[in-house]
């Protein structure tokens, strides 16, 4: 009887350790974090961006698979970057400042983990689409327009 309990205990222990090792392997490490910057004129709902992509000439030639993926993300928020869009949940989006003034522009600098990276495809002005999480605000940079 004791041998059966010992074998059962070892089997359960191996299963638990296996689950924890799989979980640990799927967690991004600090080295996998990237630093991004976005315009402080955000965030806005992902549904607004997907509607714009579907209906505005600017995005003509977009990749329908990327658009379908974006629409499948549900209730997410978007920040604009110089070469694309950064998508995150509301919790992470609220970690960044949002500002709009007429004589300056602001960039929000932050670190995060990139979960997925897609492209809008062969549009006239190609854009990268990043899905991120674990946002950590670093700093804000401000630039003034010459008036």
Query: Environment class of residue 78 by beta-carbon count within 10 Å: exposed (0-12), middle (13-18) or buried (19+)?
Result: buried
Q: Which residues pair with 142 in a beta bridge?
A: 106
The model carries a pTM of 0.73
Q: What would the pLDDT profile of 64-107 be if each residue is shown by its tens digit? A: 999 999 999 999 999 999 889 999 999 999 999 887 767 777 88
**Domain locations in the chain?**
32-144
């Amino acid at each position: 009887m004791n041998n059966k309990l010992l074998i059962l205990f070892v089997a359960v222990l191996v299963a638990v350790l296996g689950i924890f090792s799989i979980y640990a392997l799927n967690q991004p490490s600090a080295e996998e974090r990237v630093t991004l910057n976005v315009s402080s004129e955000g965030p806005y709902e992902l549904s607004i961006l997907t509607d714009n992509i579907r209906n505005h000439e600017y995005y003509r030639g977009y990749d329908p698979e990327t658009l379908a993926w974006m629409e499948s993300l549900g209730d997410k928020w978007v920040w604009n970057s110089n070469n694309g869009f950064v998508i995150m949940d509301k919790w992470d989006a609220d970690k960044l400042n949002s500002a709009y003034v007429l004589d300056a522009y602001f960039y929000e600098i932050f670190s995060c983990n990139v979960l997925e990276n897609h492209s809008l495809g062969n549009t006239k002005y190609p854009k990268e689409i990043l899905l991120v999480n674990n946002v950590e605000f670093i700093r804000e940079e401000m630039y003034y327009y010459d008036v």
